[in-house]
Amino acid sequence: MDLLIVIILTIYLIFFLYLYLYLFKKNKIKHHKSNAISISVLIAIRNESINIPRIFNQLNNQKYSGFEIVMVDDHSEDNTIEIVESKKKPYLKLYSLPENIKGKKNAILYGLRQCSGEWVVLTDADTEFSHNWLETLNSHMQQADILIAPVLIRKNIALNFLNIFETIDVVAMQLLSYATVKAGMPFLASGANMAIKKDLAIELYSRINTNICSGDDVFLLHEYLKMNNNVMFITHSEAFVYVRPQISWKDFLKQRIRWASKVKYYRNFSAIFFSWLIFLVHFLPIIYVILSFIFDFKLMLLLIMLLAKFIIDFIFILRGFRLFQYTVKMLWYFPIVWFIYFIYISFVPIIALFSKVNWKNRKWR
Domain co-membership, 296 together with 239: no
Determine the pLDDT at residue 30: 55
CATH assignment at residue 63: 3.90.550.10
Residue 328 lies in a domain: yes
Determine the pLDDT at residue 301: 83
Decide which of 248, 277, 305 is a domain's last residue. Answer: 248
Domain co-membership, 231 together with 307: no
Domain co-membership, 64 together with 206: yes
Residue 33 lies in a domain: no
Task: Return d(Cα 114, Cα 321) in angstroms, integer.
Answer: 38
Query: Does residue 96 sit in helix, strand or coil?
Result: strand
Domain co-membership, 77 together with 7: no
Domain co-membership, 91 together with 162: yes
Instruction: Check: CB of residue 36 under 8 Å from CB of residue 145.
Output: no
Task: Return d(Cα 57, Cα 173) in angstroms, integer.
Answer: 29
Residue 69 lies in a domain: yes
Determine the pLDDT at residue 138: 94
Determine the pLDDT at residue 89: 79
Length in residues, the chain = 365
Domain co-membership, 237 together with 330: no
Domain co-membership, 203 together with 343: no
Contacts 24+ apart (CB under 8 A), 269-274: 270/180, 270/185, 270/186, 270/187, 271/187, 271/188, 271/218, 271/222, 274/176, 274/180, 274/187
Determine the pLDDT at residue 153: 96
What does pTM read for this prediction?
0.92
Domain co-membership, 92 together with 185: yes
Determine the pLDDT at residue 101: 87
Residue 72 lies in a domain: yes
Number of domains observed in the structure of the chain:
2
Domain co-membership, 98 together with 216: yes
Q: What is the pLDDT along the chain (365 residues), one digit of tens a residue?
A: 778 888 999 999 999 999 988 887 766 655 555 568 999 999 999 999 999 999 999 999 999 988 999 999 999 988 999 999 888 778 899 999 998 888 888 899 999 999 999 999 999 999 999 999 999 999 999 999 999 999 999 998 888 999 999 999 999 999 999 999 999 999 999 989 999 999 999 999 888 887 776 777 899 999 999 998 899 999 999 999 999 999 999 999 999 998 888 888 899 999 999 999 999 999 999 988 888 878 777 788 889 989 999 999 999 999 999 999 999 999 999 999 999 999 999 999 999 888 777 766 566 55
Q: CB 154: neighbour CB atoms within 10 A?
A: 12
Determine the pLDDT at residue 63: 94
Domain co-membership, 13 together with 43: no
